[in-house]
A = this chain, B = another copy of it.
Amino acid sequence: MIIVIHCKDQIGLVASISNVLSAHQLNIISMREHVDVQENRFFVRLQVDQTADEDALQEKLQRILPADAIITINPLPHKKIVVLVTKEYHCLADILVRNYFGTLGASVLCVIGNHGHLGDICRRFNIPFYAVSHQQQTKTEFEQELSGVISSYNPDYIVLAKFMRILSPVFVALFHAKLINIHHSFLPAFIGANPYRQAFERGVKLIGATAHFVTNDLDEGPIIAQQIIPVNHSLTAADMMKAGKEIETSVLAKALRLVFEDRVFVYRNKTVVFE
């Protein structure tokens, strides 16, 4: 059983929590704890060796913890997601395959594309695909159509798997803390459009990818995971883009696993990640 807690810090929190667990005859197998001293925040993720009455446990923990405590018990198998895409297949296909074989740690409810290119791969896996074009309508109308489809599925997370449209603050606010994006650079380097072209022009020796929660500032949300691969002078910008797809796929897969296993806490513009 997994127990995840986030609250303001105070002396004796670990004692209080572990006393409650001990009283339930639960032995702690592994425990990851972090205190942000500057911000006075407490984060803990516990794995215990047995299951217990979840409601009773939740109630007892709530009683001994600060009022702002967010307690999640046994969260693992319940996430539901919607995936937004444009034309590139690599991240979506990886998600669809894991979903099909039951190893995603979440269920894909549907996929929405602002182009129709990826409809066929979704149909092959029996996942509903919605083509919601950004063309011939205003951005507001486009986002309303998007959010209409998304909301009808009531997902826990919306995954932007190479969705190449910038979303408005209104849209982002609608799905606060639920939007996960894969950006094709090692943020904060090469913010914005065409990062591989930028990387090529700058002559960098590494390129990267960043999975992050989406906030109103473009490519500025809390970072969940980042990875890089070495490159050199022999790669064109197109080669870098091709090589980058591999790392984008694996960074997004890693970030989703961490989020779906409740290993990621967001606080201010940062994350605490108990890998």
Residues of A near any B CB (own CB < 8 A): 9-15, 18-19, 21-22, 25-37, 49, 89, 93-94, 97, 100-101, 121, 124-125, 186-190, 202-206, 208, 222-228, 232-234, 246, 250, 253, 269-273, 275
Interface of A (DSSP majority class): mixed
CB within 8 Å for A14 and B34 given contacts A188-B202, A204-B226, A271-B233: no
- A15-B18, A33-B28, A35-B28 known; A223-B250 Cβ under 8 A: no
Q: List 9 A-B contacts (CB under 8 A).
A: A14-B21, A28-B33, A34-B233, A37-B49, A97-B121, A187-B204, A202-B269, A203-B271, A246-B250
Complex Cα–Cα for A225 and B223 (A)? 25
Contacts of A33 in B (CB 8 A): 28, 30-31
Report which of B13, B18, B188, B204 forms a contact with A223, defined as CB distance below 8 A.
B204
Cross-interface CB contact of A27 among B11, B190, B223, B246, cutoff 8 Å = B11
Copies of this protein in the assembly total 4
Chain B residues near A188: list those with CB within 8 A.
189-190, 202, 204
A29 nearest CB neighbor, chain B only: B35
Q: In angstroms, how far is the closest chain B Cβ from the Cβ of A106?
A: 16
Instruction: Report the separation of the CA atoms of residues A135 and B272 in the bound assembly, to the nearest whole angstrom.
Output: 43
Assembled-state Cα–Cα distance A31/B42 (Å): 12
Query: Chain B nearest CB: distance from A123 CB in Å?
Result: 9
User: Does B203 lie within 8 Å of A270, measured CB to CB?
Assistant: yes
User: In the complex, what residues of B have CB within 8 A of residue A234's CB?
Assistant: 30, 34
Contact between B22 and A15 (Cβ–Cβ < 8 Å)?
yes
* Residues from chain B with Cβ under 8 Å of A226 in the complex: 204-206
- Chain B hits for A125, CB < 8 A: 124
